[in-house]
A and B are shown apart, each in its own frame.
Chain A
Amino acid sequence: MLQLSKSARVVLMSIVAFVLLVIYVPLLLVVVNSFNVASLASWPIKGLTTHWWVVAWESPFIREALLNSVIVALGATIIAGILGTMAAFALQRYRFFGSQSINLLIVLPIALPGVVTGVAFSNTYNSVLPVIGINIGYFGMIVAHATFCIVMVFNNVGARLRRMNPGLAEASMDLGANLWQTFRLVTFPQFRPAFVAGAILAFALSFDEVIVTIFTAPPGVETLPLWILKEMARPSQASVVNVVATLVIVFSLIPVYVSLRMSRSDEDA
């Protein structure tokens, strides 16, 4: 173990405590402010009310935005799940020239700033596709989201594949199972936890994405982040935003919890 002097230990512990406070206090402020009587977020709060929760619950716009977010995230996750798994198999099971470039290509959409990805897709949707008679509309958001979600599935499935024994699949084939049966009954169950964890992270990433969505959403369509953004620019109703933000914080615990459970059972396997 690393032996530290008492003073060094105290300094380290203070840094850890500082980081934890800085992470959690602001989030707590948002939660408390969702019950603030005042319509503008402030501290200390003026008084407690559930008024904004009722307003949020009754808002048809929030429901529609939520539905759009779920549709886009589901679509993006399905596409990313299939493409990410295929890429993970290609890179883990084969050695070929250019595999490093493919790896970079998969990471690139998330390594480059979102504004670049957004502007690039927006330019293609608005200037290039109409020329060949395609109006991509709603599907454009899903395409853009799927592109930067591939890396999530790819990373998780790839990490699992590295530790899987390819001999099992070969044994299955030798025993007469065809490719599809082998995949469904032997290979997939082995990497299912990693696949689910990757898919959940992809869903969460898409659900949270703002900047790419700003540039790729068709006119009049709002996802939940776009709705929040619009309300943030209109400060009179700021406390409703705090309600939605609180809900996002609560629901964001689900993917983290599930993916932790999944990766734990993955380690046990």
Chain B
Amino acid sequence: MTSVLQVPEPPTQAKAQVVAARTPRQNRRGLLWLLTPPAAWLLVLYIGSLFFLLITAFWFINPFTSKVVPGFTLENFVSILTVPAYLTTAIRSLLIALAVTFIAIVLAVPLAIYMAKIASPPMRAFLALSITLPLWAGYLVKLIAMRVVFTENGFLNWLLAPFGISGPGFNTSTVIITLTYLWFPFMALPVYTAVRQIPNNYFDASADLGANSWRTIRTVVLPLIKPAIIAGSVFTFSLSLGDYLVARFVGGSTQMIGSIIASNINLNPPVAAAFSFVPIAFVLVYLWVVRKMGALERL
């Protein structure tokens, strides 16, 4: 099964050692040939760009000419904490990303358990395909689809009209729903793969020892799929955190971190640069917390 998030298998060390048994010097040269181009591309172009971005974040705008002036000021970073609109936007984005991750987990785990362990093999194949297919349907296509659902003359209001209620329209909860819709496969696929890998006799053993199905799921299944949930959560969290088009098109007046970056990129590049490090910081803290919980090996 090829997916975006191929949950990595533990490396087989035996094969690596077969290679290592060959002449070491020739080996090192081969490694250098293979590794230099991709490593150089990523280090020079990508890490290099991130590094320049960090430097730009310490520069400032000349208030009279509106030109970027190289120098050193902490003003841009300070503004993240002192400008109330900036701070609330950062916190709002964080909460939205956490909510998306939480909803994705709550939906993905039962789906994966049903697909992997309860559905018949043809049903399982059908479901696996159904979850994979929309993965590539296109980011903007899904965004357009959610607009059709939530717009005033849209599907949801039509569906709810007989009950005399109306949908949320375009607001923060719509942003959360849409982001979950977009990134759900990134959670569902690795969790499904992980549940499939649990041997069936674990369930028999658990049942023989007197655990009911709920307890089996809680004490046997969940601990075993935790690494996959965490791998998926890194993507749902990070992708939601940096998004701003969803907020722009279905969020009403909702702003996210990306909105501030995008609106400053031409007006005030140093502020945009400084603000880019907010999602980086959140993602790094998230990875650190995950590591503390002891489950980063499979990322």
The answer to whether A and B interact is yes
Q: Which 3 A-B pairs have the closest CB atoms?
A: A113-B242, A26-B145, A120-B49
Within 8 A of B (CB), among A1-28: 1-5, 8-9, 11-13, 15-16, 19-20, 22-27
| Shortest CB distance A15–B (Å) | 5
Interface residues of A (CB under 8 A from B): 1-5, 8-9, 11-13, 15-16, 19-20, 22-27, 29-30, 33, 40-44, 79, 82-84, 86-87, 89-90, 92-96, 102, 105-109, 111-117, 119-124, 127-128, 143, 146-147, 150, 152, 155-156, 158-159, 162, 165-167, 194, 197-198, 201, 204, 208-211, 214-215, 225, 228-229, 232, 241-242, 245, 248-249, 252-253, 255-256, 259-260, 262-263
The residues of B that contact A208 with a CB separation of less than 8 Å are: 136, 138-140
The residues of A that contact B130 with a CB separation of less than 8 Å are: 20, 23-24
B132 beta carbon closer than 8 Å to chain A: yes
The residues of B that contact A204 with a CB separation of less than 8 Å are: 136
The residues of A that contact B37 with a CB separation of less than 8 Å are: 82-83, 86
Chain B contact patch, size range: 35 or more
The residues of B that contact A29 with a CB separation of less than 8 Å are: 145, 148-149, 155
Interface residues of B (CB under 8 A from A): 1-2, 4, 6, 8-9, 11-13, 15-16, 18-20, 27, 30-31, 34-35, 37-39, 41-43, 45-50, 52-53, 56, 68, 107, 110-111, 113-115, 117-118, 127, 129-149, 151, 153-155, 158, 181, 184, 200, 203, 207, 213-214, 216-217, 234-235, 238-239, 241-245, 249, 257-258, 261-262, 265, 269, 272-273, 276, 279-280, 283, 299
- Whether A43 and B38, one on each chain, are in contact in the complex, defined by CB atoms closer than 8 angstroms, is no
The residues of A that contact B1 with a CB separation of less than 8 Å are: 263
| Shortest CB distance B249–A (Å) | 6
- Whether B276 and A4, one on each chain, are in contact in the complex, defined by CB atoms closer than 8 angstroms, is no
- Whether B15 and A112, one on each chain, are in contact in the complex, defined by CB atoms closer than 8 angstroms, is no
The residues of B that contact A42 with a CB separation of less than 8 Å are: 148, 151, 153-154
- Whether A228 and B140, one on each chain, are in contact in the complex, defined by CB atoms closer than 8 angstroms, is yes
Task: Specify which of B50, B132, B207 lies most central, judged by the most chain A CB atoms within 10 Å of its CB.
Answer: B50
Residue on B nearest A106 in the bound complex, by CB = B42
The residues of A that contact B249 with a CB separation of less than 8 Å are: 232
The residues of A that contact B144 with a CB separation of less than 8 Å are: 30, 41, 228, 232, 241-242, 245
The residues of A that contact B273 with a CB separation of less than 8 Å are: 119, 123
| Shortest CB distance B200–A (Å) | 6
- Whether B276 and A115, one on each chain, are in contact in the complex, defined by CB atoms closer than 8 angstroms, is yes
C-alpha gap A120/B276 in the complex (Å): 9
Q: A87-B38, A89-B34, A242-B144 are in contact. Are A124 and B213 (CB under 8 A)?
A: no
The residues of A that contact B234 with a CB separation of less than 8 Å are: 111
The residues of A that contact B15 with a CB separation of less than 8 Å are: 162, 165-166
The listed residue (B6, B19, B133, B276) touching A116 by CB distance below 8 A is B276
Residue on B nearest A22 in the bound complex, by CB = B181
Residue on B nearest A117 in the bound complex, by CB = B46
Residue on A nearest B244 in the bound complex, by CB = A115
- Whether B276 and A249, one on each chain, are in contact in the complex, defined by CB atoms closer than 8 angstroms, is no
Residue on B nearest A250 in the bound complex, by CB = B137
The listed residue (B68, B139, B239, B279) touching A210 by CB distance below 8 A is B139
The residues of A that contact B217 with a CB separation of less than 8 Å are: 2
- Whether A12 and B134, one on each chain, are in contact in the complex, defined by CB atoms closer than 8 angstroms, is no
C-alpha gap A30/B141 in the complex (Å): 8
C-alpha gap A3/B46 in the complex (Å): 50
The listed residue (A26, A143, A165) touching B148 by CB distance below 8 A is A26
The residues of B that contact A115 with a CB separation of less than 8 Å are: 242-244, 257-258, 261-262, 276, 279
Q: A33-B148, A105-B42 are in contact. Are A119 and B155 (CB under 8 A)?
A: no
